[in-house]
Amino acid sequence: MITSRLRRVEEKNASRRIAIALFGTIGLLVFFGIFGIRMLIGFSLLVDRIRGISPSTQQQQSLILPPVLDPLPESTNSTTITVRGTAAPKSELILYVNENEYKKLTVADEGTFEIKDILAEEGSFTVSAKGIDEKNNVSDLSNVITTIVDRTAPKLTVDKPADSITVNDGTHKVSVDGLTDEDMKVTINGRIVVVKSDGSFSYSMPLNDGENILSIVSRDPAGNETKVERKVIYQP
């Protein structure tokens, strides 16, 4: 009897502990359901303020996409540059050249734009842009495009052959040796010549009977050229 009574008391105490734990768990879930989300939002806003991002800035960034600029050539010898790209139709575009504001314009209904005749000085030339919609929301910065403006012709010296020489060795060829700047493209009468890492080159050029005019051209990636001509007379 006594054992049975103790067992019933223990069962009641166990049930009471389970009930207390259950109600406590439910209470915690309700508390976090009501206040936890607010706490998370508040913490997120605090982090954004520390990072310098306000809710209005986040909204602006999500309202208008940044413009996309078409790539420029790696280098050019042109005095002017044309920039093309796409942006939100009818939005305002701010163009930056070398990180300075250059021009504002309205994007076409098709979402395309073109800015011609941008004067370019020698050296690095960078372009970027931002878009502004009708509610004055400003986009993030576009991709940055870069080209190197180079109007300096490459150096070119031709050591062999001398000008106006006569060749009669029976080979119908003459060796053309010279030196130019690194990474140049050299041609002799349109034939591509291998240029070594130090800028030197050597090519065995076929000759016709009589007078031959050899046009040796060195061309850089920007399109600048230097040309040297040699007259060679072949007598069989």
CATH number at residue 211: 2.60.40.10
Q: Does residue 101 carry a pLDDT above 80?
A: yes
Provide the domain limits for residue 94: 63-149
Same structural domain, 119 and 175: no
Sheet-wide strand order for 80-86: 68-69, 80-86, 112-119
Domain boundary residue, one of 82, 114, 149? 149
Tell me how far CA of residue 179 lies from CA of 156, 193, 220, 225, in angstroms.
6, 12, 14, 14
Same structural domain, 67 and 128: yes
In a domain, 226, yes or no: yes
Residue type (1 letter), 201: F
Say what the pLDDT of residue 78 is: 97
Q: Does residue 39 carry a pLDDT above 90?
A: no
Q: Which residue blocks in the chain are alpha helix, DSSP H?
A: 2-31, 37-51, 55-63
In a domain, 206, yes or no: yes
In a domain, 182, yes or no: yes
| Higher per-residue pLDDT: 41 or 125 | 125
In a domain, 58, yes or no: no
Sheet-wide strand order for 185-188: 165-167, 225-234, 210-219, 185-188, 191-193
Q: Does residue 62 carry a pLDDT above 50?
A: no
Q: Does residue 50 carry a pLDDT above 60?
A: no
Tell me how far CA of residue 227 lies from CA of 191, 208, 233, in angstroms.
14, 21, 20
DSSP label at 73? P
Same structural domain, 48 and 80: no
Domain boundary residue, one of 123, 149, 175? 149
Residues sharing a CB contact under 8 Å with residue 113, sequence separation 6 or more, in sequence order: 67, 84, 85, 86, 87, 93, 105, 107
Same structural domain, 81 and 141: yes
Q: Is 123 exposed, middle or buried (0-12, 13-18, 19+ CB in 10 A)?
A: exposed
189 band by pLDDT with thresholds 50, 70 and 90? very high
Q: Out of 48-57, 81-90, 150-159, 197-206, which region has the weakest mean confidence (pLDDT)?
A: 48-57
Bridge pairing between strands 225-234 and 165-167: parallel
Domain boundary residue, one of 95, 130, 149? 149
Say what the pLDDT of residue 11 is: 59
Compute how many other C-beta atoms are within 10 angstroms of the C-beta atom of residue 186.
Answer: 22
pLDDT tens-digit series, residues 102-148: 999 999 999 999 999 999 999 999 999 999 999 999 999 999 999 99
Same structural domain, 33 and 80: no
Cα separation, 165 vs 179, in Å, equals: 20
Say what the pLDDT of residue 127 is: 98
Q: Does residue 191 carry a pLDDT above 70?
A: yes
Same structural domain, 119 and 167: no
Same structural domain, 141 and 194: no
Same structural domain, 67 and 132: yes
How many domains, the chain? 3
Same structural domain, 124 and 77: yes
165 φ, ψ (degrees, to nearest 5): -90, 160
In a domain, 43, yes or no: yes
Q: Does residue 44 carry a pLDDT above 50?
A: yes
* Whole-prediction pTM: 0.65
| Higher per-residue pLDDT: 41 or 85 | 85
58: which 2 tokens? Answer: 């986040």
Mean pLDDT of the chain: 85
In a domain, 85, yes or no: yes
